[in-house]
Structure 1
Amino acid sequence: MDIPRIFNISESAHRIHNPLTPEKLATLGAALRLEPGARVLDLGSGSGEMLCTWARDHGITGIGIDMSQLFTEQAKRRAVELGVGGQVTFIHGDAAGFVSDDKVDVAACIGATWIGAGVAGTIELLARSLHPGGIILIGEPYWRQLPPTDEVARQCLAGSISDFLMLPALLASFGALGYDVVEMVLADQDSWDRYEAAKWLTLRRWLDANPGDELAEEVRARLRSEPVRHAAYTREYLGWGVFALMSRV
Structure 2
Amino acid sequence: MDLPRIFTIRESSHHIHNPFTGDQLATLGQALRLAPGTRALDLASGSGELLCTWARDHGITGTGVDISTVFTEHARTRAAELGVADRVDFVHGDAAGHVADAPVDLAACVGATWIGGGVAGTVELLDRSLRPGGLMLIGEPYWRLDPPDQDTVEGCDATRKEDFRPLPELIEQFGDLGYDVVEMVLADQDGWDRYRAAQWLNLRTWLDRNPDDELAADVRAELTTAPARYARYGRDHLGWGVFALMAR
1:204 equivalent in structure 2: 204
Q: Whole-Å Cα distance in 2 between the matches of residues 174 and 223 of structure 1?
A: 36
Q: After superposition, what is the alpha-carbon deviation per residue over 1:177-225, rounded to whole angstroms, capped at 9, x for unaligned?
A: 0000000000111101111100111111100000000110111111111
Q: Does 1:102 align with 2:105?
A: no
Q: Which amino acid aligns with 1:93?
A: G
Unaligned stretches of 5+ residues in structure 2: none
1:17 equivalent in structure 2: 17
Q: Whole-Å Cα distance in 2 between the matches of residues 164 and 53 of structure 1?
A: 29
Q: Whole-Å Cα distance in 1 between the matches of residues 206 and 149 of structure 2?
A: 35
Question: If the length of structure 1 is used for normalisation, what is the TM-score?
Answer: 0.99
1:83 equivalent in structure 2: 83
CA RMSD, Structure 1 to Structure 2 (Å): 0.6
Aligned length: 248
SS in 2 for 1:139: strand
1:28 equivalent in structure 2: 28
Q: Whole-Å Cα distance in 1 between the matches of residues 177 and 219 of structure 2?
A: 40
SS in 1 for 2:100: coil
1:183-202 map, 5 Å? 183-202=183-202
1:143 equivalent in structure 2: 143
2:58 equivalent in structure 1: 58
Question: If the length of structure 2 is used for normalisation, what is the TM-score?
Answer: 0.99
Q: After superposition, what is the alpha-carbon deviation per residue over 1:5-34, rounded to whole angstroms, capped at 9, x for unaligned?
A: 100111111000001000000001001100
Q: Whole-Å Cα distance in 1 between the matches of residues 150 and 244 of structure 2?
A: 30
1:165 equivalent in structure 2: 165
Q: Whole-Å Cα distance in 2 between the matches of residues 52 and 171 of structure 1?
A: 28
Q: Whole-Å Cα distance in 2 between the matches of residues 123 and 107 of structure 1?
A: 9
Aligned-pair CA distance for 1:150? 2.0
Aligned-pair CA distance for 1:151? 2.1
Q: Whole-Å Cα distance in 2 between the matches of residues 2 and 246 of structure 1?
A: 32
Question: Runs of 4+ in structure 1 displaced over 6 angstroms?
Answer: none
Q: Whole-Å Cα distance in 2 between the matches of residues 104 and 90 of structure 1?
A: 16
1:240 equivalent in structure 2: 240
Q: After superposition, what is the alpha-carbon deviation per residue over 1:161-189, rounded to whole angstroms, capped at 9, x for unaligned?
A: 11111000100010000000000000111
Q: Matched residues, percent identical? A: 67
